[in-house]
Chains A and B, each alone.
Chain A
C-alpha cells in the first residue's frame, strides 16, 4: 500500500482545511482529499460564530456570552469556548488583513444582497464600510445585467428594517458591452484587468464605472456594490473606485458563485500549500477498511472511476459537510453518513423529519453525527465508533447552522480541535 500519510482529512471545505492545517502544525504528515471543488465558493465569505440562539433569539450582540447556554450535544458545547477561540485565531492568521472584526468580541451586522443584515464575527475588509451599525447614508449600486442584486429593493428593505441611516438604490449599466446574462466572474475579471473600456476614460473600466455612479450620488459618503469587485486584485479595484468617487466603497455579499468565497478559498488553499499539506481533488472517498479489532480505521477507499484505491493513515478527520455537501445522505428509508456509516439519529417516520412551515423548526437541519468531546463520532448507545476517527464541520449534528448563523464558527472550532488532536496522536 503506497498512498500513506499520518493524517488523512476527508473534505476540502472550511472544516477540512482548518483540520489539515492544525494537524500539519502539530507536526503530522497530512493529506487532504476532496471529491469536488470546495463549496467555499458557494458561501458569502462571512465568518459567523453565532448570530441567534437555537431558540431563535437574536441577533446576538456577543456570541461568546451565549455559548454556555447551548444545549448538550451542540458542537460548541462539545468542544468548549477555548476551541471556538482557537478556531477564530487560526482564521485570523489565515486571513491576515483581508478580513476585519477581530478587534471586538461583538457581532458585526453586515447587509446582504436581499437587504437583510447578518450578524457575523468576521467579514471581508471589502465589506467593512457597509456595516449596518455605521450611521452614514449609503448608496447601493446594482448593474442592469446582474439580476441577482436589485439595489433599490435592497435599500428599501434596509430602510424598512430600521437601519440607522438612509439607504438609496440605483441601477447602472456596466460600462462594457455585455451579453444578457454575464457570469459574476465576468464583471470581476473586467474590473481586474481594467482595460478595453470607453476611450473617454482612457479605457479604464473602473474610472468609467465611477463616472456612471457619480451622477447618482446625493451626499452619500459610502457606496455599496454587489460583491464582484475583482477576483485577483480586489483591493486595487476598490481603492480606484474610492479615489475616483471620493467616497468609501464596500461590497455587499452575494449568493453562489461568490467572489468573496472564491477569494477566501484561494487564500486558504495557499495556506495548505505553505503548510506542506498534500491535496487531492477529483475522486470520492466511498468506504473504509477497519483495523484488526474493528474499532479503528486502517484505510479509507477512494473510488477512481471504478477502481478502489486504499489510502492508509494513522488518524482520520471526516469533514465531508452536511446534507448539501453530501457528507450526510438520505433517502426515503433513512438518513446515513455514507463513508463510515456512523450513527445519525433520526426519527423512523420521515414525516417527522421536517416541519410543515417552510421556515419552521426542521429536524433535518440538525441531522448529523454525534461526537464525544474529542469529536469522535459515537454510536446509538454513546460508545465511540472508531478510536482514530474525528468529525468536524457540517457533518456534525445537533445544530442548525442556517438558523443560528454558526456554520463557519463550528467548522473552524471543530476543524481546529479535530486536526490538532489527530496531529498530536501521530
Chain B
C-alpha cells in the first residue's frame, strides 16, 4: 500500500494520530489523476533507463526515470515546466515492463507529454501540425483510400517526398505504405458480413486503421481464422485506437476516438462479445492506456474483455493441438520474428515463437529483444529518423543473420521498419495461422 492510499503516516497507528494532524495525502491539490503513488514507488534503481531504446542511442536523453517520477516531483514542488525532452520519448513503453516496482511510467510520460504539447508547444508551429496530422493518420488514410492508386503514386513521388521533408519535417527516406485498392471494411460489406453464426462464440473485431486501409489481408486472415474456429464476428463502428495520439501528446484527439470505441464495444460486450485486435499497439491502448488516461464509462469493461487475436485463440481453443496436426507449405523457411515493444507488457512477446514451433513446414527465429526503432509516427519525423534507424540497427543485424528472407511481426509500423531496414517481405502471424489452418 502506498502513502497515497493510506490516510496517515503508516508508521503511526490510527488511534495515536491526533485529529488535527497533518495528513500527507492532502499535501497536493486533488487532480483527476493522482500519480503520487507512482512517484513514491520508484526506488530509483534505474532499470528503466537501461531498458530505454532512445537513451541507448542518445546519451543526452534523460531517460524514463527522469521523464516520469523525477519530473513529477519537480513539478509538484516548484511547478517546473515539463522538459522538452519528453518529445524524444517514443512511447515504446518498455520501461513499464522493466520496472520491478510497478511504477506506471508510460502513464506518467503520456500525461507529461500532453501537458508539454498543451502548454509548451506553439499551436502555430510546423511541428505541432506535423505531429497532429501524423497522430490523426486515420483521417488522411480515409481520404487517401478513396483514390488509392493516385495517392500511392503521389505519396512516393521523389521530388514531392523531398518537399515534404523540407516543408513539413517528414523524412524523405521512407516510402509511404501503399493504400489497398479495397479497404477491409469494403471487403467485409461486399462479402455480406459474418459467414458464421454462434450464440456462445462471439467476437467483435477492432481492426484499427492500418489493417483496414493498408493491409486488409491481415484483417481477412483474422476473419477466416476465427470463422474456422466457429466464431461469429462483428465489425462495429470504430475510430483510431489512439496510439499515435498518445505518442504525440494529443490526448484530446485520443479521448474523442476512445469515446467512440468504448461506446461501440462496451455495448457488444454486454451482448457476450469479446474484443479482438490484430495490432498489438491497438490492444495495448484499449487494455492499458484507456484505463490509465480516461474515465469514460465502460473503459474498465472494454479493457478486461480485449485480447490480441492469437492470444485469444490460445486461451479458448486447442491451438497447440491444431498446429501440431497442421502443415504449411513454406519449404521449411525460417521466419525472422520481431516482438513489438507493445506486445511485451501484454505478455505476448514469446507467443508466436512458442506457437509456431509446433507447426511443420516453417520455423520461427526470434531476432532478439531490441526495439525496431520506428515506434509508430516517431521514425517518420525527419529529426528522429536517424535515431530511429540507430535503435533498429540491432534488429537489422539479427535479421541479416537470420536464415530466412521473410520477416514476421504483429505491429504494422515495426513491419515497415523491418522492411525498410532489411528489404524482407513481412508477414503477420495471423497470415501464417490462416495459411496453416484454413487454406491447408
A residues at B contact (CB < 8 Å): 2-3, 33, 36-37, 39, 41-42, 178-179, 182-186, 189, 256-257, 278-283, 302, 304-307, 309, 324-325, 331-332
Contact = CB atoms under 8 A, between A and B. Distances in A.
B47 interface: yes
B349 A282 contact: yes
B350 interface: yes
Given A2-B320, A39-B100, A42-B45, A186 B344 contact: no
Interface in B331-381: 344-351, 354
Contacts of B117: none
B82 interface: no
Given A257-B46, A257-B50, A306 B304 contact: yes
A324 B41 CA distance: 12
Contacts of A307: 304-307
Which of A3, A257, A302, A306 neighbours the largest number of chain B CB atoms within 10 Å of its CB? A306
B27 interface: no
Contacts of B318: 2
Given A37-B100, A256-B46, A309-B315, A183 B63 contact: yes
Contact of A305 (B55, B60, B314, B346): B346
Contacts of A305: 287-288, 291, 303-304, 306, 346
A281 B45 contact: no
17 contacts: A2-B318, A3-B314, A36-B99, A41-B50, A183-B49, A184-B50, A185-B50, A186-B59, A256-B46, A280-B347, A281-B350, A282-B344, A304-B307, A306-B303, A309-B315, A331-B1, A332-B1
Contacts of B63: 183
Given A2-B319, A282-B344, A283-B347, A36 B98 contact: yes
B71 to A, nearest CB: 15
Interface residues of B, number: 45
A256 B51 CA distance: 13
A179 B59 contact: yes
A306 B291 CA distance: 10
B56 A185 contact: yes
Nearest to B347: A282
Contacts of A280: 347, 350-351
B59 A182 contact: yes
B287 A306 contact: yes
A283 B49 CA distance: 21
B98 A332 contact: no
A37 B47 contact: yes
B97 interface: yes
A18 B99 CA distance: 23
A178 B97 contact: no
A304 B317 contact: no
A283 B346 contact: yes
Interface string B31-49: 0000000000000011101
Contacts, number: 100
A149 B164 CA distance: 49
B260 interface: no
Given A183-B50, A305-B303, A281 B100 contact: no
B346 A36 contact: no
B122 interface: no
Interface string B62-96: 01000000000000000000000000000000000
Contact of A257 (B47, B287, B316): B47
A42 B346 contact: no
Contact of B348 (A36, A37, A282): A282
A316 B45 CA distance: 31
A280 B348 CA distance: 7
A96 B60 CA distance: 38
A41 B59 contact: no
B235 interface: no
Nearest to A181: B62
Contacts of A331: 1
Which of A42, A183, A305, A306 neighbours the largest number of chain B CB atoms within 10 Å of its CB? A305
B47 A42 contact: yes
Given A36-B100, A183-B55, A332-B10, A304 B305 contact: no
Contact of B314 (A2, A36, A186): A2
Given A3-B315, A41-B47, A183-B46, A282 B56 contact: no
Contacts of A302: 347
Given A256-B45, A257-B46, A305-B288, A37 B350 contact: no
Contact of A304 (B97, B320, B346): B346
B300 interface: yes
B6 interface: yes
Nearest to A185: B50
6 A-B pairs with least C-beta separation: A306-B304, A282-B347, A305-B287, A283-B347, A185-B50, A179-B59
Contact of A37 (B46, B97, B315): B97
A331 B347 CA distance: 28
A306 B300 contact: yes
Given A304-B347, A305-B304, A179 B97 contact: no
